[in-house]
Chain A
């Protein structure tokens, strides 16, 4: 786990999560700053508008206290309308609304202390109530007639509160997002790290020799599972290739050693026992024959290996499959008659296939050859080819003894020869080549019971 934790913050997933969280928080900050500014500006503007309305009312009450026409200095008694208006407002309201009406440095009404007449929008600190703290206000002052000055303000406490609310909300949202992004990033990258570690662990385990190990799949269809599936498929393929390589090596070591040893025994025997030229000549002829058959086996092995490696793609071409099969049939007909095997070829017309003609002929020639070798005289042999639902099917059937079920898959191995056929000539490579050619053409081959006899069924897929 410490391994996981140490690497957690270096993972790509975590980095992406962090970048995403950063961008998200940045844009949220911008949004909140805008909201904050807009809200406080709008709030202040509305406070000022209300104050201006009040000021207008006071101005009207004061300026027209002596009627609309008369123009003389106002008397003290004539100020009562404006004074009462202010006092009513002060009584009706809490401390939020602030008023001042003064004339010649003397306060007529209001809840603000005397101040120097300053027209226009003002923002300043004042002392609210008795012994209370200093608070900010926003208001508008105006010079009235006859040296009077009026000021209407609004306490800014509510604006401050609104701002504070915005800031608190901002902090909560910001904090929560930060936590969510962090946790999300950690969870994501941890699962990412764990999946990657599963792959790493499997790779190391394979490197240390446990070739059967595979990356566990989670059954989801995400990229990592697809990667794991691809790697597993690759490992399967590599393992199969290694397996076949190992088998070939073993085959060569075991199966080619025996004929070589026989050759050596014979030569040694001749050397010690031959008495005349004829004996030597005979021995040399036989030695040549034996080395020829060994060389044929080597050539067969190499051919199979090359076919399996897919080296013969060059021979692939569009084929008149019917004529290829006709060639095979006509090739074998005389031999079938000579060996007294009633031979029937049923080949459908118009079969088309993409393949390598040489290898296909060799494939069916090997199957027919097998049928010939392992059936007694008089046993029927049939070659049939035709279109199937999924492509082309070819069957080679005989009426011989067949192959027991347990040996049917083994006979496709190189050098596998059943006990009974060990004495008959043959390299044990024929069916291995069949399997390789079928594989190259993406087909399938299986051996079935022909009741009695053997039925070799080869199926090729329709052209992709």
Chain B
């Protein structure tokens, strides 16, 4: 069970988040104002905080800044309104770990919360990893080489970055927007089949000629790298 605090003043959105995350193994506490959220975040032992940026009382950015000042390092996912241009930068500067634009699809929220929780639990060991391994696929982060079943695979820089991200999140769904942000550093969705093209190219290098495909498409959600 993942203990999650949702700080969101709109009951509809809060309910939507609660229902979606509960079904996927989260225990949800809800705080409807910034002040409540701050108190709960300080006392409760949460693994994840989902905070709206615009809140009655204390706004989301201030709230997280103050939590970070108190050395509370719980991962924070910001909810921002669409069209807010500097949302990402401001959120990250305040100490947030990720952000998602409202209105959002549940798969997107799930994928991102999973990534955050996982990253937090891995954070100690994470940097010492020099080799990522999924089934017979191996990625060496030092020599920057990739091989499958011992066969070396030649990847270009972007392809390497894409595969690295998929392997770091192996077994979990990553969405198009997550890939756009992390691999290409894009804060907007170009709205074409750009990601699909890159993934299919990578797929042709990784999976072609091997019995078991590793990169899977999850319809309506994104991609997942897993054995079988």
Chain B interface size, as a band, is: 20 to 34
CB proximity of A121 to chain B, nearest CB, Å: 97
Q: Is A358's CB under 8 angstroms from B187's CB?
A: yes
Q: Is A307's CB under 8 angstroms from B200's CB?
A: no
Q: Is B190's CB under 8 angstroms from A307's CB?
A: no
Chain A interface size, as a band, is: 20 to 34
Q: Which of A268-282 contact B (CB under 8 A)?
A: none
Q: Is A307's CB under 8 angstroms from B85's CB?
A: yes
Known: A334-B201, A338-B200. Contact between A305 and B83, CB under 8 A? yes
> What does DSSP make chain B's interface, helix, strand, loop or mixed?
loop
**CB nearest neighbor in A for B186:** A361
Q: Which of B207-222 contact A (CB under 8 A)?
A: 220
CB proximity of A325 to chain B, nearest CB, Å: 14
Instruction: Note all chain A residues with C-beta closer than 8 A to B200.
Output: 334, 338
Q: Is A315's CB under 8 angstroms from B86's CB?
A: yes
**CB nearest neighbor in A for B201:** A334
> Which of B85, B89, B192 is within 8 Å of A335, CB to CB?
B192
Q: Is A312's CB under 8 angstroms from B86's CB?
A: yes
User: Contacting chain B: which of A59-67, A136-144, A293-301?
Assistant: A293-301
Instruction: Note all chain A residues with C-beta closer than 8 A to B192.
Output: 335, 369, 372
Whether a CB of chain A sits under 8 angstroms from the CB of B194 is yes
> Which of A299, A305, A330, A361 is within 8 Å of B158, CB to CB?
A330
CB proximity of A297 to chain B, nearest CB, Å: 11
Instruction: Note all chain A residues with C-beta closer than 8 A to B127.
Output: none
CB proximity of B7 to chain A, nearest CB, Å: 23
Q: Is A331's CB under 8 angstroms from B85's CB?
A: no
Known: A369-B191, A369-B192. Contact between A331 and B184, CB under 8 A? yes
Q: Is A338's CB under 8 angstroms from B190's CB?
A: no
**CB nearest neighbor in B for A372:** B192
Instruction: Note all chain A residues with C-beta closer than 8 A to B184.
Output: 327, 331
Q: Is A303's CB under 8 angstroms from B198's CB?
A: no
Q: Is B103's CB under 8 angstroms from A295's CB?
A: yes
Q: Is B158's CB under 8 angstroms from A295's CB?
A: no
Whether a CB of chain B sits under 8 angstroms from the CB of A253 is no
If A338-B193, A362-B188 are given as contacts, then 5 extra A-B residue pairs at C-beta distance below 8 Å, sorted by A number, are: A299-B82, A315-B89, A331-B190, A335-B194, A362-B186
Whether a CB of chain B sits under 8 angstroms from the CB of A233 is no
Interface 1/0 per residue, B61-105 and A, CB below 8 Å: 000000000000000000000111110010000000000010101
Q: Is B89's CB under 8 angstroms from A331's CB?
A: no
Whether a CB of chain A sits under 8 angstroms from the CB of B12 is no
Q: Is A335's CB under 8 angstroms from B186's CB?
A: no
Interface 1/0 per residue, A392-429 and B, CB below 8 Å: 00000000000000000000000000000000000100
Instruction: Note all chain A residues with C-beta closer than 8 A to B82.
Output: 295, 298-299, 302
**CB nearest neighbor in A for B103:** A295
Taken together as a complex, chains A and B put the C-alpha atoms of A369 and B189 apart, in Å, by 12
12 CB contacts below 8 A, A to B, read: A296-B189, A303-B85, A303-B188, A306-B83, A312-B85, A314-B86, A327-B185, A331-B186, A331-B190, A335-B192, A335-B194, A366-B190
Q: List 6 A-B pairs, minimum CB-CB distance, nearest first.
A: A302-B83, A335-B197, A334-B197, A299-B82, A312-B85, A365-B190
Taken together as a complex, chains A and B put the C-alpha atoms of A296 and B188 apart, in Å, by 11
Q: Is B158's CB under 8 angstroms from A358's CB?
A: no
**CB nearest neighbor in B for A305:** B83
Taken together as a complex, chains A and B put the C-alpha atoms of A285 and B189 apart, in Å, by 21
